[in-house]
Amino acid sequence: MLKVPKHQVAGHEAIGGNLGPLIDDSGRFYKPLQDGERGTKELAFYHSLSSDTRLPDRIRKFFPAFYGSQLLEASDGSGLRPHLVLQDLASNHLDPSILDVKMGSRTWYPEASDDYIQRCLEKDRTTTTVSLGFRISGLQIYENKESGFWKPSRKDVLNFTVDNVRLVLRKFVSSNSPVDSNMKPDCCFAHSVYGGPAGILEQLLELKTWFEDQTVYHFNSSSLLILFDKESLWEGRTPFAEVKLIDFAHVEEGKGVIDHNFLGGLCSFIKFISEILTDLNE
Ligand SMILES: O=P(O)(O)O[C@@H]1[C@@H](OP(=O)(O)O)[C@H](OP(=O)(O)O)[C@H](O)[C@H](OP(=O)(O)O)[C@H]1OP(=O)(O)O
Ligand SMILES: Nc1ncnc2c1ncn2[C@@H]1O[C@H](COP(=O)(O)OP(=O)(O)O)[C@@H](O)[C@H]1O
């Protein structure tokens, strides 16, 4: 039985009769192939990744597992449509807090259509994409059983300033309410979630070592999806905090050139996470 994901934080959503991803109870995430080149590009990327022997195992783990494609009834009622069959990254987390961070100081690329470039340029200039090399494109933070999740609207997220980003990255690992804007985030989970040998910072640094070398792919407009849940943290499960790469509808061949755009954004994001840990130590 397919259903609408409970923990989707950005992108096209299968609610209100729209086209969007679906999940099942076995831990699979079905992402409909988007129209035009976008869908075929993302499918081709996953196929190429599966057979790419150059990809080290320590890097493969950053991508959702890929189980091919399947024709399924689309969520918008338009009939059968091919879907990517992916690992549902939220399925092994109870009440996950999730951040979707769109990487790069530009989300457009020269091969795209003029109309697409114009739309991207506009969003890049009005968000932190240009200034920071990344923008938060969606999030949810689990508070507690009574209050559930704090999930700011898409419009509010698109309006995040640099200061908002700094604050949200602190709220993400805090125990006090993310809703109350007067409350200083206590960052009480920062050491365990961002720090430590299996924490987010280590994972980001490992990913960075690959981006410093790899010239095979250019990850235009792709995101880092960061997930953790308090339950796994308390139970000492590993990994309880994960960094994954998603959204490959605009990946291009790297043709021997470093993906400076993604790498620059990654370095900038790493700095923001490192600062939180440094501030705690001082
Ligand atoms: O249509 P919208 O306004 O929801 O824009 C989508 C973006 O949502 P946003 O407004 O930034 O929250 C959406 O951004 P997120 O993935 O939500 O960060 C994508 O940029 C999407 O483009 P594409 O599918 O990657 O080509 C964008 O879709 P397209 O406009 O390219 O179809
Ligand atoms: N494999 C996955 N498992 C769980 N959730 C996912 C997965 N891929 C994407 N998502 C969720 O869906 C959202 C949108 O995904 P994305 O691939 O960027 O779609 P779009 O192409 O519509 O922008 C992400 O922010 C995340 O919440």
Q: Which residues line ligand 1 (CB under 6 A)?
A: 10-11, 34, 38, 102, 123, 137-138, 154, 158, 221, 249
Average pLDDT on 89-106 reads 97
Question: Quick check: 197 and 162 in contact, CB under 8 A?
Answer: no
* Ligand 2 centroid – CA 281 distance (Å): 34
pLDDT over threshold 90, residue 282: no
* Ligand 2 centroid – CA 10 distance (Å): 7
In which band, very low, low, confident or very high, does the pLDDT at 212 lie, cut at 50, 70 and 90? Answer: very high
Percent of the chain with pLDDT over 90: 93
Q: Quick one: which atom of ligand 1 is closest to the CA of 137?
A: 18
Structural domains in the chain, CATH included, are 22-91 (no CATH), 93-281 (3.30.470.160)
Write the residue with the smallest CA distance to atom 8 of ligand 1.
Answer: 11
**Rounded to whole angstroms, how far apart are CA atoms 261 and 142?**
31
In which band, very low, low, confident or very high, does the pLDDT at 105 lie, cut at 50, 70 and 90? Answer: very high
* Ligand 1 centroid – CA 63 distance (Å): 21
Q: Quick one: which atom of ligand 2 is closest to the CA of 247?
A: 17
**Rounded to whole angstroms, how far apart are CA atoms 169 and 4?**
27
Question: Per residue in 46-83, pLDDT tens?
Answer: 999 999 998 999 999 999 999 999 999 999 999 999 99
Q: Quick one: which atom of ligand 1 is closest to the CA of 154?
A: 12
Percent of the chain with pLDDT over 70: 100
**Rounded to whole angstroms, how far apart are CA atoms 189 and 199?**
11
**Per-residue pLDDT at 233:** 85
Contact residues for 191 (Cβ-Cβ < 8 A; gap 6+): 277, 280
Residue 270's Cβ-count burial label (10 Å; 0-12, 13-18, 19+) is: middle
Amino acid sitting at position 223: S
pLDDT over threshold 80, residue 239: no
Please name which of 218, 219, 9, 250 lies closest in space to residue 119, comparing C-alpha atoms: 250
Question: Per residue in 147-187, pLDDT tens?
Answer: 999 999 999 999 999 999 999 999 999 999 999 877 899 99
Write the residue with the smallest CA distance to atom 12 of ligand 2.
Answer: 8
**Rounded to whole angstroms, how far apart are CA atoms 264 and 282?**
27
**Per-residue pLDDT at 191:** 94
Quick one: which ligand is closest to 248's CA? Answer: 2
Identify the three-state secondary structure at position 238: coil
Q: Which residues line ligand 2 (CB under 6 A)?
A: 8-12, 21, 29, 64, 86-90, 98, 100, 138, 223, 225, 246-247, 249
Write the residue with the smallest CA distance to atom 9 of ligand 2.
Answer: 246
Write the residue with the smallest CA distance to atom 14 of ligand 2.
Answer: 11
- Can you point out the beta strands (E) in the chain? 22-23, 28-32, 66-73, 80-87, 97-103, 134-144, 148-150, 217-219, 223-228, 241-246, 251-253
Write the residue with the smallest CA distance to atom 19 of ligand 2.
Answer: 11
**Per-residue pLDDT at 202:** 98
Question: Per residue in 123-142, pLDDT tens?
Answer: 999 999 999 999 999 999 99
* Ligand 2 centroid – CA 118 distance (Å): 23
